[in-house]
Amino acid sequence: MAEARLGVAFQFQVTEEGIIVNFDRKALKFVGRAVMKSAKRKVKGAKKAILKRSFPATPATWILLVAALSAARYSENETTVGVLGKVERGLPWSHSLDPKTVIAVAVLVCATLLWMLIGHTQQFILRQLLSYRAFLYEPRGRLSLKTKVWLGFVKVLGGKNPTLYSYEKSLPYLPVPDLDATTKRYLESVRPILDEERFKKMEKLAEEFKNGLGKRLQRYLVWKSWWSTNYISDWWQQFVYLRSREPLMINSNYYGVGTLYVPTRIQSARAANVIYSMFLYRKQINKEKLQPQFSMGIIPLCSEQFRRTFNTTRIPLKEQDHLHHHGASTHVVIYHRGRFFYLQAFHRGVILKPADLEKQIVRILQDESKPVPGEELLPAMTTAERNLWAETRSTYFSTGVNKQSLDCIEQAAFFLNLEDLEMEYSEEESENLDTLSRYLLHGNGHSCWFDKSVSAYIFKNGRFGITAEHSWADAPIVSHLGEYVTGYDIGVVGYKEDGHCKGEQEFSLPPPSRLQWDIPEKCVATIESCQEKAEKLIKDLDLHVLVFTTFGKGAIKKMKFSPDGFVQMGLQLAYFKDHGNFSLSYESSMTRLFREGRTETVRPCTMDSCTFVRAMLNLTATKSEKRELMMKAVETHVTTFKKAMSGEGIDRHLFGLYVVSKYLEQDSPFLTEALKEPWKLSTSQTATRQLTTTDYDKMPGLKTAGGGFGPVADDGYGVSYIISGEDVIYFHITCKVSSKLTDCKRFSSYIKESLSEMKALFDD
Residues assigned a catalytic role: 470
Distant-in-sequence contacts of 615-624, Cβ < 8 A, 24+ apart: 616/573, 616/754, 616/757, 616/758, 617/576, 617/577, 623/761
Whole-angstrom Cα distance, residue 729 to residue 187? Answer: 33
Whole-angstrom Cα distance, residue 327 to residue 442? Answer: 29
Whole-angstrom Cα distance, residue 536 to residue 529? Answer: 11
Whole-angstrom Cα distance, residue 293 to residue 398? Answer: 41
Rg (C-alpha) for the chain, rounded Å, is: 29
DSSP 277: H
Q: How far apart are the first and last CA of the chain?
A: 72
Whole-angstrom Cα distance, residue 737 to residue 743? Answer: 7
Q: Which residues partner with 255 through β-bridges? A: 467, 708
Residue 2, Cβ neighbours under 10 Å: how many? 17
Whole-angstrom Cα distance, residue 340 to residue 333? Answer: 7
The amino acid that residue 352 corresponds to is: L
> Which residue in 681, 654, 254 sits closest to 473, CA to CA?
254
Collapsing DSSP to helix, strand or coil, 585 comes out as strand
In angstroms, what CA-CA distances link 277 with 270, 479, 548, 668?
A: 10, 15, 31, 50
| DSSP assignment of 215-253 | HHHHHHHHHHHHHSSSTTHHHIIIIIIIT--S-STTTT-
Whole-angstrom Cα distance, residue 502 to residue 179? Answer: 60
> Which residue in 636, 649, 642, 564 sits closest to 600, CA to CA?
649
User: Are the CB atoms for 427 and 549 separated by under 8 Å?
Assistant: yes
User: Strands 599-602, 10-15: parallel, antiparallel or unpaired by DSSP?
Assistant: unpaired
Q: Which residues partner with 227 through β-bridges? A: none
> Which residue in 331, 340, 319 sits closest to 275, CA to CA?
331
